[in-house]
């Protein structure tokens, strides 16, 4: 037996373990100080009532012989695929139901999709970004090239014709920066991908935070995207499904004359046995009128938190982006502090925990991520402390 030696090339993720270590150390030395965590990427509000009711009644069905369900379709039940189809339609995107695949979340599919691509493809990844794209490709042994996201390009890099890449990752609204591509910018990526016969893996896990009608929530709003893009979506941040697990991936039939769609179906039917019926009924409820109203209330709650954070940063002239169409606020560490220096500064002085930008790539050095996923009380308290400290 030989192990996959590519795993030796994955850099150990010390980011969250180092944060936990520093926080624990501080807490044990300062038991009287209350630490506020604004670093996590997990939601804190519970599932909506309509979702809980749907989960309950689906559970009841499973306990009755006549309505019990065993194995379901690997690609998802039609009742949910139809709802996702209608959701896209409401954003002016027409999809065939067989282009929509229900999954247990975006992370799994972002990794699993790589089964469809040869190991000799070159991968283009923006830096900084969600670390899963780099790690999954490193595990497979693919060559990765980076494109710089920085203050000069508002953390929205555009295609560079001198770089040849076969698989391109785009994440908009972005984790960690909260930056969102507009239609013209995405069109440049779509044209580049079509010209180069590349595929764009478009991570739209945070699309639900977009409120500006002119900003694209889906890459398929862009002309030409159906011949070059695959889109990954998730109910995690949209509806608090981080622990419940459901998402969907769109593989258009227009790419490679339907080959990738066919291969993905084959891959899923071979290696995946579908999302639980109960969970899919809960997900279905998210897309009902009541569900959409209830999740919007939660999203507005997080958005208000983001506003509170942004206002405080603005008051103290701390450069930042994000927060408006994203749960993430990306700020430049004041006084040229490094990301970790600023982490220690916040923890020691005001007991706020955030995420050092350097954990998301080399261009993240000197930057810092705060999230709006905390409670309102904690967000207000954290910003009050920061405001008073910086006075």
Q: Is 203 helix (H, G, I), strand (E, B) or coil?
A: strand
Strand stretches in 22-142, DSSP E? 36-37, 100-103, 122-127
Q: Is residue 322 a contact point for ligand PLP (CB under 6 A)?
A: no
Residue 60 burial (C-beta neighbours within 10 Å; 0-12, 13-18, 19+): exposed
DSSP symbol at 64: S
The residue from 236, 261, 326, 379 that contacts ligand PLP (CB under 6 A) is 236
Q: Is residue 247 a contact point for ligand PLP (CB under 6 A)?
A: yes
Please tell me the distance from the alpha carbon of residue 74 to that of residue 33, in angstroms, as a whole number: 49
Smallest distance from the beta carbon of 136 to ligand PLP, in angstroms? Answer: 11
Pick out residues in 332-351 that bind ligand PLP (CB under 6 A): none
Smallest distance from the beta carbon of 154 to ligand PLP, in angstroms? Answer: 18
Query: 241 or 343: whose CB is closer to ligand PLP?
Result: 241
Q: Is residue 207 a contact point for ligand PLP (CB under 6 A)?
A: no
Pick out residues in 126-145 that bind ligand PLP (CB under 6 A): 130
Q: How many residues bind ligand PLP (CB under 6 A)?
A: 13
Smallest distance from the beta carbon of 197 to ligand PLP, in angstroms? Answer: 25
Smallest distance from the beta carbon of 36 to ligand PLP, in angstroms? Answer: 20
User: φ and ψ at 147, to 5 degrees?
Assistant: -120, 135
Stretch that binds ligand PLP, among 104-112, 158-166, 209-217, 373-381 (CB under 6 A): 104-112
Tokens of 205: 């896990």
Gap between the terminal Cα atoms of the chain: 62
Q: Is 365 helix (H, G, I), strand (E, B) or coil?
A: coil
Answer yes or no: are the C-beta atoms of 69 and 54 closer than 8 Å: no
Q: Is residue 364 a contact point for ligand PLP (CB under 6 A)?
A: no
Q: Is residue 281 a contact point for ligand PLP (CB under 6 A)?
A: no
Tokens of 71: 């194995």
Query: 299 or 386: whose CB is closer to ligand PLP?
Result: 299
Answer yes or no: are the C-beta atoms of 93 and 322 closer than 8 Å: no
The residue from 175, 261, 292, 379 that contacts ligand PLP (CB under 6 A) is 175
Q: How many CB atoms lie within 10 A of CB 321?
A: 22
Smallest distance from the beta carbon of 221 to ligand PLP, in angstroms? Answer: 19
Tokens of 332: 């430049």
Q: Is residue 106 a contact point for ligand PLP (CB under 6 A)?
A: yes
Q: Is residue 166 a contact point for ligand PLP (CB under 6 A)?
A: no
Q: Backbone dihedral region of 273: left (phi > 0), alpha (psi from -120 to 50 degrees) or beta?
A: alpha
Query: 156 or 350: whose CB is closer to ligand PLP?
Result: 156
Q: Interface with ligand PLP by CB under 6 A: which residues?
A: 41, 105-107, 130, 171, 175, 203, 205, 234, 236, 242, 247
């Amino acid at each position: 037996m030989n192990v996959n030696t590519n795993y030796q090339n994955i850099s150990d993720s010390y980011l969250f373990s180092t944060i936990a270590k520093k926080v624990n150390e501080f807490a044990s030395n300062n038991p009287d100080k209350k630490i506020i965590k604004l670093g996590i990427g997990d939601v804190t509000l519970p599932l909506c009532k309509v979702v809980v009711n749907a989960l309950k009644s689906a559970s009841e069905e499973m306990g009755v012989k006549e309505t019990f369900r065993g194995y379901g379709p690997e690609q998802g039940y039609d009742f949910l695929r139809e709802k996702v189809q209608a959701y896209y339609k409401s954003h002016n995107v027409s999809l065939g139901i067989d282009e929509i695949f229900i999954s247990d979340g975006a992370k799994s599919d972002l990794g699993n999709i790589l089964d469809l691509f040869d190991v000799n493809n070159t991968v283009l990844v923006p830096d900084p970004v969600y670390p899963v794209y780099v790690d999954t490709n490193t595990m497979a042994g693919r060559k990765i090239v980076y494109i710089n996201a920085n203050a000069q390009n508002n953390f929205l890099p555009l295609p560079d014709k001198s770089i040849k890449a076969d698989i391109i990752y785009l994440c908009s609204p972005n984790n960690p920066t909260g930056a969102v591509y507009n239609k013209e910018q995405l069109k440049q990526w779509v044209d580049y991908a079509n010209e180069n016969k590349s595929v764009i893996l478009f991570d739209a896990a945070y699309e639900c935070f977009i409120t500006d009608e002119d900003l694209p929530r889906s890459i398929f709003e862009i002309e030409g995207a159906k011949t070059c893009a695959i889109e990954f979506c998730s109910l995690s941040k949209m509806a608090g499904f981080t622990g419940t697990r459901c998402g969907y991936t769109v593989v258009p039939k227009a790419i490679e004359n339907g080959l990738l769609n066919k291969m993905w179906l084959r891959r899923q039917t071979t290696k995946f046995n579908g999302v639980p019926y109960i969970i899919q009924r809960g997900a279905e409820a998210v897309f009902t009128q009541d569900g959409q109203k209830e999740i919007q209330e939660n999203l507005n709650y997080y958005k208000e938190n983001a506003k509170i954070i942004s206002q405080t940063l603005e008051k103290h002239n701390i450069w930042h982006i994000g927060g408006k169409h994203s749960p993430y606020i990306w700020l430049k560490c004041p006084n040229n502090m490094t990301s970790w220096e600023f982490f220690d500064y916040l923890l020691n002085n005001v007991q706020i925990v955030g995420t050092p930008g350097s954990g998301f790539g080399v261009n993240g050095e000197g930057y810092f991520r705060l999230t709006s996923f905390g409670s309102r009380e904690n967000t207000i308290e954290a910003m009050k402390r920061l405001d008073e400290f910086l006075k």
